[in-house]
């Protein structure tokens, strides 16, 4: 633990990540990222295996060092990753031109295609270094919503409207592609890195919610708050050219994203992402459709 303590002593908290457990550090003469697993110690072994599973297929960091089990002195598990180059994509897009946004969108589509092509046999969360898939144990979408509805705070009329949309989502799930794949589950610009000089994606980070699930889920996550038709259109152009996902792709993506959206919307509104999710759920309930007032999205040629 002496080496770990020396690294941790210089740790600087990073924005994002789960529960403020991610830090920028210096280790063995290179920049690195230290992730602690005090809240979910069982996840350390999963994340190590995931990074090894997808390395070379997706831009993920190397594992430099790890302690996947809690120490005898009570220290939490940790994983030390290389710190990938590039800047946060969310920040980059604020000043990017149309050509750059289109280029980034095409690369995002390529990453989504790769993720959707990594198959699993059953839905569920990952457990252990073998990446065993275990049931989430949450029932269906309507049951999941019912367990979170109080935290969302919809009016009776809004709740009825949202439940009608859930019926539409269940129908879309039943008629979509019957395929289970690796889902990053937090696939949005804050978890992506880009080289500002070339507009090339350099990293997909923060895999703490990854699981085996729907091939539409990550696309739905990316499109959740996206208002850029150039970026979204470029993404869709690549995804539609990939493995067959059927028609009504944007609707299916938004339907698959409802699980994460409901969970976010039920969290304290002090979190700006949770507040935005809550507002989106209310708009979906008021309008009675999955778009919830979001702009139409189509392929950019």
What is the average pLDDT across 241-256?
A: 94
pLDDT score for 269: 86
Q: What DSSP designation does 295 have?
A: P
- 34 within 8 A of 23, measured Cβ to Cβ: yes
Cβ atoms of residues 295 and 229 within 8 Å: yes
Q: Which two tokens stand for residue 206?
A: 């923060």
Contacts of 139 (CB under 8 A, 6+ apart): none
Identity of the highest mean pLDDT range in 30-34, 246-250, 259-263 = 259-263
pLDDT of residue 121 exceeding 50, the answer is yes
Condensed to tens digits (0 to 9), the pLDDT of residues 257-284 reads 999 999 999 999 889 999 999 999 999 9
- Residue 10's pLDDT is 64
What number is the average pLDDT over the span 173-192? 95
Q: What is the pLDDT of the chain when averaged over all its residues?
A: 92
Provide the pLDDT for residue 293: 95
Using a cut of 0.85, tell me whether the model's pTM lies above it.
Answer: yes
CATH homologous superfamily of 2-82 equals: Phosphorylase Kinase; domain 1 (3.30.200.20)
SS3 119: strand
Q: Token pair 């309507």 is at which residue?
A: 142
| Percent helix / strand / coil, the chain, rounded to 5 | 45, 15, 40
Per-residue pLDDT band for 67 (boundaries 50, 70, 90) equals very high
Does domain 87-287 fall under CATH 3.90.1200.10? My reply is: yes
User: Cα(158)–Cα(237) distance, rounded to whole angstroms?
Assistant: 34
Residue at token pair 């149309």: 98
Q: Phi and psi for 78 in degrees, rounded to 5?
A: -150, 160
Domain boundaries, the chain: 2-82, 87-287
Beta strand extents in the chain (DSSP E only): 12-13, 22-27, 30-36, 63-67, 78-82, 87-88, 124-127, 132-134, 181-183, 192-195, 200-204, 211-213
Contact 16, 191 (CB under 8 A): yes
Q: How many residues does the chain have?
A: 301
Tell me which residue of 219, 275, 274, 280 sits closest to 249, measured CA to CA: 219
Q: For residue 1, what pLDDT is reported?
A: 46
Work out the pLDDT band at 2, boundaries 50, 70, 90: low
Residue 3 has what DSSP assignment? H
Write the pLDDT tens digit of every residue in 46-62: 999 999 999 999 999 99
Cα distance between the two ends of the chain: 55
Tell me how far apart the alpha carbons of residues 177 and 180 are, in angstroms, rounded to a whole number.
Answer: 9
């Amino acid at each position: 633990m002496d080496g770990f303590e020396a690294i941790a002593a210089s740790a600087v908290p990073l924005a994002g990540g789960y529960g403020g457990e991610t830090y920028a550090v210096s280790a063995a003469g290179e920049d690195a990222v230290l992730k602690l697993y005090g809240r979910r110690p069982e996840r350390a072994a999963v994340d190590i295996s995931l990074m090894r599973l997808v390395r070379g297929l997706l831009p993920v960091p190397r594992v430099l060092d790890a302690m996947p089990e809690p120490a005898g002195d009570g220290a939490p598990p940790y994983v030390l990753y290389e710190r990938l180059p590039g800047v946060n994509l969310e920040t980059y897009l604020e000043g990017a031109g149309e050509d750059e946004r289109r280029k980034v969108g095409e690369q995002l589509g390529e990453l989504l295609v790769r993720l959707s092509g990594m198959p699993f046999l059953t839905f569920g969360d990952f457990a252990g270094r073998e990446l065993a898939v275990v049931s989430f144990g949450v029932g269906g979408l309507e049951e999941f919503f019912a367990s979170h509805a109080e935290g969302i705070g919809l009016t009776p009329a809004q709740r009825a409207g949202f439940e009608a949309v859930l019926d539409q989502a269940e129908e879309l799930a039943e008629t979509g592609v019957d395929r289970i794949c690796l889902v990053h589950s937090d696939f949005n610009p804050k978890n992506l890195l880009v080289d500002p000089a070339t507009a090339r994606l350099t990293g997909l980070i923060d895999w703490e919610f990854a699981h085996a699930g729907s091939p539409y889920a990550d696309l739905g996550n990316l499109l959740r708050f996206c208002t850029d038709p150039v970026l979204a259109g470029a993404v869709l152009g690549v995804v539609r050219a990939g493995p067959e996902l059927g028609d009504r792709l944007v609707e299916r993506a938004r339907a698959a994203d409802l699980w994460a959206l409901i969970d976010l919307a039920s969290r304290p509104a002090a979190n700006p992402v949770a507040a935005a999710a809550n507002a989106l759920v209310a708009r979906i309930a008021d309008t009675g459709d999955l778009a919830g007032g979001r702009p139409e999205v189509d392929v950019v040629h």
